[in-house]
Amino acid sequence: MASVCSGIIGLPNVGKSTLFNVLTRGKAQIANFPFSTISPNIGTVSIPDNRLESLARIINASIITPAVVQFTDVAGLVKGAHQGEGLGNEFLSRIRGIDVLAEVVRCFQEEKVVHCEGNIDPVRDIQIINLELLLADLEIVERKLAKVTQSVISKSKKDKEKLDILEKVKANLEKENSLRDIPFTEKERCELVKEGFLSFKPLLYIANIDEDDLTSPSLLLQRLREYALTEGMEVIEICAQLELELEDLSQEERIEFLKELKIREAGIDRLIKEVYRKLNLITFFTVSGGKEAKAWPVKRGITASQAAGKVHSDMEKGFIKSEIIPVSELLRIGSMKQAKEKGKVRIEGKDYLVKDGDVIHFRFSS
Ligand SMILES: Nc1nc2c(ncn2[C@@H]2O[C@H](COP(=O)(O)OP(=O)(O)O)[C@@H](O)[C@H]2O)c(=O)[nH]1
Ligand SMILES: [Mg+2]
């Protein structure tokens, strides 16, 4: 993945755009890294990583390229959205390629902000959204099944396998089971990711809470926490409005303010970490010509040659070997030259499993 893509979803008026603005304009999470807004509803957030900054320092890099998470502010979903062709299709096309869904759930009470269902009830809201995702998948699978069933008349083995997977998907959706809760085989999982099923995408719950909830959680928030537990899900609690207002403060003022509110870490930082954890990502680093230090987010379990392919497809094709040193060790030694002299830079082949924090130099023939 060039970058990790996260989609902010939820009912209208729950604070999705507010959260998006915090993410893409906020200063806390981006520290001194650059960020950009690609379009009004797509923004990228750099992942703060002290190791990258230290690495850049010892190689004297003038360019620091952090790993990024891309956030898309997807239009609000409402009950019955899967049937509405216009919005439905636009929604689906926006969200299909997304790696992880960040579902914003309203817990803040403000009466002036209208709730589309008439009252505030986070658990009900989650059920509405999750049902919509599931029903959208049911429509997709029915369409696909119709297509595959026709081609199976020619009976290729691959088509037959696909048909079986789609039948299994359909049977589960009809029972209102989200696909992410079903134990699929590795092969089936690959197929489901490829097809972009929404209820199969990893999901995070983000409770948009009031400041008061920080000290005494409302009954609604407590119910939401309990509900999430039954699903084995965590709830990330964020005061979106408050964090947006904090932007105007200096770094010191903000830290002081958060401390007063007993917030240990900005909600946004926790959100980004959780995206990393949910997607089972690790980071490896490359340094080029002493000019650039770069962080690459990749799935845990990636091999050295696959990692090379992330940097450049030619590097994977012509992969010869990789030179690897853990960043912590390189930082301790202080320079790549010394690390090499001390024999601390290892040579690894194409099947080596990349570890979090590896600094890698790929050797390849072009
Ligand atoms: N009190 C309060 N209001 C909020 C909060 N987050 C958003 N709002 C307000 O709720 C309204 C809808 O927010 P918006 O981010 O546009 O919601 P979206 O429709 O989900 O994108 C706006 O008037 C926001 O100012 C919050 O945490 N607390
Ligand atoms: Mg909005």
Atom 14 of ligand 1, nearest CA residue: 15
pLDDT of residue 28: 33
Atom 23 of ligand 1, nearest CA residue: 113
Question: What gap in Å lies between CA 342 and CA 362, rounded to an integer?
Answer: 20
pLDDT of residue 40: 60
Q: What is the pTM of this model?
A: 0.85
Atom 19 of ligand 1, nearest CA residue: 13
Q: Residue 250's pLDDT band (boundaries 50, 70, 90)?
A: confident
- Name the most confidently modeled range: 118-122, 150-154, 328-332: 328-332
What would the mean pLDDT of 284-295 be, rounded to a whole number?
89
pLDDT at 218 over 50: yes
Judge contact between 214 and 108, C-beta under 8 A: no
Cα 241 to ligand 2 centroid, rounded to whole Å: 13
207 CB contacts (<8 Å, ≥6 apart)? 105, 107, 122, 221, 224, 235, 236, 237, 238
Judge contact between 71 and 24, C-beta under 8 A: yes
Looking at all shown ligands, the one closest to residue 129's CA atom is: 1
Cα 196 to ligand 1 centroid, rounded to whole Å: 29
Q: Residue 53's pLDDT band (boundaries 50, 70, 90)?
A: very high
pLDDT at 67 over 70: yes
Looking at all shown ligands, the one closest to residue 75's CA atom is: 2
| DSSP codes, 301-331 | T-BHHHHHHHH-HHHHHTEEEEEEEEHHHHH
Q: Which atom from ligand 1 is nearest to the alpha carbon of 73?
A: 21
Phi, psi of 347 (to 5 degrees): -100, 130
Percent of the chain having pLDDT more than 90? 53
Cα 138 to ligand 2 centroid, rounded to whole Å: 26
Q: Residue 151's pLDDT band (boundaries 50, 70, 90)?
A: low
- What tokens appear for 54 in the block? 């230290």
pLDDT of residue 146: 87
Query: What burial class does residue 111 get, using C-beta atoms within 10 Å of its C-beta: 0-12 exposed, 13-18 middle, 19+ buried?
Result: exposed
- What tokens appear for 48 in the block? 């703060």
Judge contact between 147 and 226, C-beta under 8 A: no
pLDDT at 32 over 60: no
Residue type, 67: A
Question: What gap in Å lies between CA 106 and CA 355, rounded to an integer?
Answer: 38
What is the CB neighbour count within 10 angstroms for residue 55? 24
Q: Residue 256's pLDDT band (boundaries 50, 70, 90)?
A: confident
pLDDT at 66 over 80: yes
What is the CB neighbour count within 10 angstroms for residue 83? 12
Cα 245 to ligand 1 centroid, rounded to whole Å: 12
Question: What gap in Å lies between CA 362 and CA 360, rounded to an integer?
Answer: 6
What would the mean pLDDT of 222-244 be, rounded to a whole number?
92
Give the full edge-to-edge strand order of the sheet including 63-65: 63-65, 292-299, 281-288, 358-364, 319-326, 346-348
Atom 1 of ligand 1, nearest CA residue: 110
pLDDT tens track for 154-170: 667 777 888 999 999 99
Q: Which atom from ligand 1 is nearest to the alpha carbon of 240?
A: 27
Give the full edge-to-edge strand order of the sheet including 100-106: 36-39, 42-46, 68-73, 4-9, 100-106, 203-208, 235-238
332 CB contacts (<8 Å, ≥6 apart)? none
Q: Residue 181's pLDDT band (boundaries 50, 70, 90)?
A: very high
pLDDT at 186 over 60: yes
How many helices and strands in the chain, by DSSP H and E?
15, 13
Cα 256 to ligand 2 centroid, rounded to whole Å: 30
pLDDT of residue 261: 73
What would the mean pLDDT of 301-317 be, rounded to a whole number?
94
pLDDT of residue 2: 56
pLDDT at 105 over 80: yes
What would the mean pLDDT of 286-301 be, rounded to a whole number?
90
Cα 106 to ligand 2 centroid, rounded to whole Å: 13
pLDDT of residue 290: 66
- What tokens appear for 102 in the block? 């960040």
pLDDT of residue 183: 92
pLDDT of residue 306: 95
pLDDT of residue 29: 36
149-to-70, 142, 159, 169, 189 alpha-carbon distances in Å: 37, 10, 8, 15, 20
- Provide the mean pLDDT of the chain: 86
Q: Residue 35's pLDDT band (boundaries 50, 70, 90)?
A: very low
- Name the most confidently modeled range: 234-243, 275-284, 356-365: 356-365
- What tokens appear for 199 in the block? 């209820």
Q: Residue 152's pLDDT band (boundaries 50, 70, 90)?
A: low
pLDDT of residue 79: 78
Task: Report DSSP state, residue 283.
Answer: E
Residues with CB under 6 A from ligand 1: 10, 12-18, 76, 108, 110, 113, 208, 239-241
Question: What gap in Å lies between CA 262 and CA 245, rounded to an integer?
Answer: 17
Least confident range of 24-33, 72-81, 157-166, 196-205: 24-33
pLDDT of residue 36: 47
Phi/psi-derived region of residue 334, left when phi > 0, alpha when psi is between -120 and 50, beta in every other case: left
